Amino acid sequence: MTSSSPNSADTGSKIMFTRQDEWKNTGSPDGEIKVFRPTMEEFKNFGKYMEYIEQQNAHLSSGVCKVIPPEGWYPRPSKLPDDYSDIDDFIIECPVRERIESMGNGCHVKNNVVYRKEMKVKDFRRMALSKQYGTPQKNYDLYNLEKHFWRNLLHHEPIYGADTPGSIYDSDVKEFNMNCLGTILDLLKEEKVTIKGVNTVFLYFGMWKTTFPWHAEDMDLYSINYLHFGEPKFWYAIPSHAAEKFERLAAQRFPDGLQICKAFLRHKLYIISPTVLKQNGIPYGTMVQYPGEFIITFPKGYHMGFNTGYNCAESTNFALERWIDYGKNAVLCYCRKDTVEIDMRPFMKKYRPEEYREWFDYWYGERASTYKPTKPDTIKTRKRKGSQDSGGGKSETGSEDSSINLPRSICTKRQRKIFQARKPMFDLWANRPVNLFAEKNS
């Protein structure tokens, strides 16, 4: 379909960047982001189409892909395609002021400061389109705007209306409706578990230069993002096969973050420039998301981006069966109270029945309950020698390390002691989905 951007009556300003030619990747050739254009028939079955996308290896070439809906589809058929005037009085909860601090050498940390307790959309729009906060009024195309963003990253503190609960889809829309995608993540609702923004929908109201730093989704889930109206979003994404290399780079560049939390990238505060990625041989792709388009992120697909002007997006998480091996192996943040943690037992029992009993006994059975890990303060940290495949550890405090694949009953005390001693030194980010005995969720 053609661009579904709001007209000037809706936004108070003419849209600067409309969909024209295909975006040409400004990243590395081996990180190109794929674009899909389903027919209306294909578009009707979300899960089946996601499987088709992965059959085309979209998840191998990049951490994200783009889906352009078939012409004639709208998420709000009860309204005119460009009419979003009904959300003027919608309340944005706790919009934040973004402050970015340079750490040198192309690395930055974002700090969020609450701007107000709440704000109406019409007031946010007025601010976003003002001279102070609006997109630079220069004769830029999006390629030049990307360069302008990085040159001026430390200047100007925009306001972001992120993580606001709600959806502006029509409730009777069946196709790609984030309120009812019909994936295996619905098992959470069957278990009467609600996690805001994970199996519920969030809205995001952006303005020029508001940023979402590098991160993979909570529990390494999939996500779906639809841009309703306004100026485009600019995306960067890294293929999942390069995730560990990227994590090691981030750990080197942000040692203070790593010292605080093993999963510090879950905090969504750390920015690494494309130049640094190129210098370190990390493949990445770029993509522009115009209004009326979807971006899908894959498990362990690191991504970041920024808004090119006033806009509104809607997003949630979902899961296919392939995610289970990532979910049970996800390295979690335990330094924050709002950490997302999903109990993997129902998923393993329903979708991995042949593995469930052995996996359950390992983590929740008699051996797990009787095993007493060596106290960390009795072990001298040893320098890493060589490589070691590992699964994620439960946490930094009182955790059990799952990196050893031998059954506990045949692990000697000395073996456990060696692995516990070396744990802080190797593979802090090893999220290998081949490990049956992955992270325990209690």
**Known catalytic membership, residue 217:** yes
Which residue in the list 59, 228, 267, 303 is annotated as catalytic? 303
Identity (one letter) of the amino acid at 294? F
**Known catalytic membership, residue 315:** yes
Which residues does 322 contact at the CB level (< 8 Å), separation at least 6? 54, 299
Which residue in the list 146, 217, 247, 439 is annotated as catalytic? 217
**Beta pairing class for 64-67 and 91-93:** unpaired
Here the tokens at position 435 are 């490990």
**Known catalytic membership, residue 215:** yes
Which residue in the list 5, 61, 315, 399 is annotated as catalytic? 315
Question: What are the b/e assignments for 284-308, b being 16+ CB within 10 Å?
Answer: bbbbbbbbbbbbbbbbbbbbbbbbb
Which residue in the list 204, 222, 226, 270 is annotated as catalytic? 204
CB 192 within 8 A of CB 255: no
**Known catalytic membership, residue 108:** no
**Known catalytic membership, residue 270:** no
Identity (one letter) of the amino acid at 4? S
Closest of 235, 234, 263, 261 to residue 247, by C-alpha: 263
Q: How many C-beta atoms surround the C-beta of residue 369 within 10 A? A: 9
Instruction: Quote the DSSP letter at residue 241.
Output: G
Question: C-alpha angle 411/412/418, rounded to 5°?
Answer: 95
Which residue in the list 74, 134, 166, 215 is annotated as catalytic? 215
Q: 265: number of CA atoms within 13 Å, CB side? A: 28
Which residue in the list 197, 292, 327, 393 is annotated as catalytic? 197
Strand extents, DSSP E, 266-342? 270-272, 285-289, 294-297, 303-307, 311-318
How far apart CA 272 and CA 256 sit, in angstroms, is: 15
Cite the active site residues: 197, 204, 215, 217, 303, 315
